[in-house]
Amino acid sequence: MDYATLKVIWWVLIGVLLIGFAVTDGFDMGTAILLPFIAKTDAERRIVVNTVGATWEGNQVWFITAGGAMFAAWPLVYAASFSGFYFAMLLVLFSLFFRPVGFDYRSKREDPRWRSAWDWALFIGGFVPALVIGVAFGNLLQGVPFAFDTDLRVAYHGSFFALLNPFAVLCGLVSVSMLAAHGAAFVKMKTDDVIARRASLALRIASLAAVALFLIAGVLVATVIGGYQIVDAAPFDTVANPLLKSVVGAPGLWLTNYSTYPWMVAAPLIGVVGGVLALLFAKSRFEKSVFICTGLMIVGVILTAGFSMFPFIMPSSLDGRSSLTVWDSTSSQMTLQIMLIAVIIFLPIILIYTSWVYRVMRGKVTAAALEENRHSMY
């Protein structure tokens, strides 16, 4: 397989891993975001916690795998992103610490203050990563202030608080709202009675917010936010050197791919239609279909960002030549080939095992089940 094709394949595979993380661990985070609001009593909150209790650890594997794949396939992206987003990544990491301890320690004591504190800890573990990851994508769309010198040493010239600019925060809110909608759809599917009704209301609110904010972000990308375009570059099958190209930036350039490849328009349409259908059918009994709709919304939003930026992965707002793309930030051809063989062998195994787990854990979480298994469930 030629080098250029391998580069595109790994762009697709890392995208699949990110989507897998967002769709699976996304409803875990969305459930945690909604926990203090859709469950009023301790018994109700235990039910909500246990809707994801059996699967949340396995879902995080997608996040770990995506990080490992990025390190191996895109080493320059990994290095530059850790320089620019170091404190943001630490914030995500520290907030994720609340999840395992929150799940494991919440029910160790019956003190209401103890349990309430862990409920809010779980909220932080869902809200902060969702917000920060969205903010990171917002900054990628605008360009990140980094540059390489002639020896390919990267230097970052921004700050943590500069990442919290208005457009990036808007993208963060898109992320929070769509994951909250996904979590609400999951809770609705896994619970009954009053919790399901509250989840249905939360689903309508979050879906409406996600679609509206996504459309606003799209208008800003088309009219205000500067995009990037390669005007001259080395051949696609050469070794990675991001300085061997010329890049221009201007508002609206992120829409270029949609005129070049009209089929890419399907991505934002899927995102909007998925959110609208989830909103319209939030009160229906087609719970699994609604959950699929919120999943499609997430897929559409992520694909929209990926299709808009292709072939850019991490554009530079300081030096266009330093922008990292699919063509000039990858590992060697042999590395990509060996990794691809590993993916072909192990990814189907992971998918089969995950499907089996969800099949075994299907069904609703009820108060009676909690009482019967009070020492084995969270």
DSSP conformation letters of 295-319: HHHHHHHHHHHHHHHTTEEE-BSS-
Higher pLDDT, 184 or 234: 184
Q: How far apart are CA 340 and CA 331, in angstroms?
A: 12
**pLDDT band (50, 70, 90) for residue 2:** confident
Q: What is the per-residue pLDDT across 130-171, written as a single tens digit (0 to 9) for each?
A: 999 999 999 999 999 999 888 888 888 888 888 999 999 999
Query: What's the chain's Rg over C-alpha atoms?
Result: 21
Which residues lie closer than 8 Å to 135 by C-beta, 6 or more apart? 88, 163, 164, 168, 169, 171, 172, 175
**What single DSSP character describes residue 188?**
H
pLDDT of amino acid 304: 96
Question: Is this prediction's pTM over 0.85?
Answer: yes
As a three-state string, the secondary structure of 54-104 is CCHHHHCHHHHHHHHHHHHHCHHHHHHHHHHCHHHHHHHHHHHHHHHHHHH
- Residue in 335, 370, 325 with CA at minimum distance from that of residue 143: 325
- Residue in 210, 198, 377 with CA at minimum distance from that of residue 296: 210
**What single DSSP character describes residue 281?**
T
325 sits in which H/E element: strand 324-325
pLDDT of amino acid 265: 95
pLDDT of amino acid 238: 64
pLDDT of amino acid 367: 76
Q: Which of 78-87, 124-133, 275-284, 298-307 has the lowest mean pLDDT?
A: 78-87
pLDDT of amino acid 81: 86
Q: How far apart are CA 122 and CA 72, in angstroms?
A: 31
- Mean per-residue pLDDT of the chain: 90
Do the beta carbons of residue 271 and residue 304 sit within 8 Å? yes
Q: What is the per-residue pLDDT across 202-259, written as a single tens digit (0 to 9) for each?
A: 999 999 999 999 999 999 999 999 899 988 876 666 667 888 888 898 999 999 999 9
pLDDT of amino acid 275: 95
DSSP annotation string for 203-267: HHHHHHHHHHHHHHHHHHHHHTSEEEEEEEE--TTSPP-TTSEEEEEEETGGGHHHHHSGGGGHH
Tokens at residue 110, please?
């019956």
Q: What is the per-residue pLDDT across 4-63, written as a single tens digit (0 to 9) for each?
A: 899 999 999 999 999 999 999 899 999 999 999 998 888 889 999 988 888 888 888 888
CB atoms within 10 A of CB 329: 24
Q: How far apart are CA 343 and CA 98, in angstroms?
A: 31
Torsion angles phi and psi, residue 374, rounded to 5 = -65, -25
Torsion angles phi and psi, residue 91, rounded to 5 = -60, -45
Name residue 93's amino acid: L
Q: What is the per-residue pLDDT across 315-366, written as a single tens digit (0 to 9) for each?
A: 999 888 889 999 988 888 899 999 999 999 988 888 898 888 888 888 888 7
Tokens 């040493």 sit at which residue?
153
Do the beta carbons of residue 321 and residue 55 sit within 8 Å? no
**Percent of the chain scored above 90 by pLDDT?**
54
Q: How far apart are CA 278 and CA 210, in angstroms?
A: 11
Q: Is the pLDDT of residue 190 over 70?
A: yes
Question: Rounded to an integer, what is the distance from CA 335 to the centroid of its chain?
Answer: 26
pLDDT of amino acid 278: 94
Tokens at residue 41, please?
């009593």
Average pLDDT over residues 118-122: 93
